[in-house]
Amino acid sequence: MKITTKLWIGIVMLIVLSPLGLLLPKHFKAGVAWGEWSSDELYKLIGYVPKGLEKLSSLWRAPIPEYVFGDCKERGLAQLSLAYIVSAGLGIVVVILLVWFIGRMLIKK
């Protein structure tokens, strides 16, 4: 099996497993996924928000907030899991296209 085939199989497996980010925190009553804290959640966790994070938090907004489209969050776990899988696929496609485009630009130079 070629290395690129193994890579694509691994990527597809990661896409399919992405809803674990929903299930595990809910199962262990851990709140949001580790590292995905908003500045408000961070303040609740540690009692303050670092100045740099506070300054930059208003600068960037997620293109797909909480990995859901529209009102999928109210529809149940199956719809939410599907939204996670679609978001993972879209993110991977965007990264692949960006890397391909940058690679083509570098090859031309």
Q: Which of 3-7, 58-62, 65-69 has the lowest mean pLDDT?
A: 65-69
Angle at 65 between CA 16 and CA 10, to 5 degrees: 20
For residue 67, the number of C-alpha atoms closer than 13 Å in the C-beta half-sphere is 23
* Whether pLDDT at 53 is above 90: no
Domain ranges in the chain are 3-108
Averaged pLDDT for residues 10-22 = 85
Measure the CA–CA gap between 61 and 32, rounded to whole angstroms. 17
Indicate the DSSP class of residue 33. P
Cα dist. 2→41, 43, 50, 93, 97 in Å?
44, 47, 46, 21, 22
pLDDT at position 73, please? 59
* pTM over cut 0.85: no
Question: Per-residue pLDDT tens for 26-51?
Answer: 777 777 766 777 788 889 888 998 88
- CA-derived radius of gyration, the chain: 18
